[in-house]
Amino acid sequence: MTPGLASTAGDDTLGVMNAAMTHPAPIHLDLPDQRISYLDLPGTDPDALPLLLLHGGAVDSRMWGPQLGAFPERRVLVPDARGHGGSSDAEAPYRLVDDVVALLDALGIETVVAAGISMGGSTAGDLALEHPERVAGILVGGTGTSEIEFTDPWALQAFADWRAAESGGSAQAWIDVLQRFTAGPHRTLDQVDPALRDLIQEMARSTLDQHLRLDENGVPVRPHPPTPVTGTWERVGDLRIPVLALGGALDGDDHRRSGRRLAETAPRGRYVELDGVGHYPNLEDPAAFNAAVRELLDAL
């Protein structure tokens, strides 16, 4: 654990739920190939770089509730990734990083500071690698790059069970496997704050309700997966921006290992691990997470 980022996990249950309930109304941007739903919060300092917050897989922009009012000086953008929240589904091959750039281009934004958790962290890293001129710094949580390698038997079993639940068409079984990542391998779901469990359940159920398609026999149709960005680890050493990799001490071993590798490989990389939290540190310990983001902003 890094000095100055003391964990307060478990002390902000009402804060998590209240932040989720007071989410502002999303904006819908219709582009030729997709609809992007996003939050756009103005800042008080027109010279401050916008902060881009990218959510994890199977959830949506509501996971960023505790961060929405934490950086009032700067513009905060919070999009729903394709196939999540109010954004459209994929009808053709796509890359998540290209969707982010499409949003920035449409809004006339040249450069951002990007923070993401899990899938969103991978997308933040892809943005820095594919478009280094568009990002001034990144915070990556629960991952390293989009080419994370899973070798831990706990993670491999979870992914296998997730695929089985998807094929079997059981929505609750699919959500139950997702909740394993909420808890991580080092505690049970009963040891996780009920407010966090409920929020993940609500977002995952919404993802299925809005984006799950069934064929004529009622069998789930696998959505168009995003095209991966490749050659990421070979390029991390070329990054010239501040890179902060954030790990939850109770997260999966592969997730934390990948974050450490990113921090050790990036020339201006640093790894921070928060005690008492898992895959969603911004929700389990908003104060410590926001302090980490503030530290990144101060390093620019």
pLDDT in tens, 169-178: 788 999 999 9
| Per-residue pLDDT, 17 | 46
The full set of domain ranges for the chain reads: 13-150+225-298, 153-221
Contact (Cβ atoms closer than 8 angstroms) between residue 49 and residue 74: yes
Segments of the chain scoring below 70 in pLDDT: 1-22, 218-220
The amino acid that residue 258 corresponds to is S
pTM higher than 0.75 for the full model? yes
Cβ partners under 8 Å of residue 95, min gap 6: 126, 226, 227, 228, 229
Fold of 13-150+225-298: Rossmann fold (3.40.50)
| Per-residue pLDDT, 21 | 45
| Per-residue pLDDT, 20 | 46
Q: In this structure, is the dihedral angle defined by the CA atoms of residues 92, 166, 124 and 82, taken in order, positive or negative?
A: positive
Count CB atoms within 10 A of the CB of residue 158: 18
Q: What is the pLDDT of residues 97-119, one digit of tens each?
A: 999 999 999 999 999 999 999 99
| Per-residue pLDDT, 10 | 46
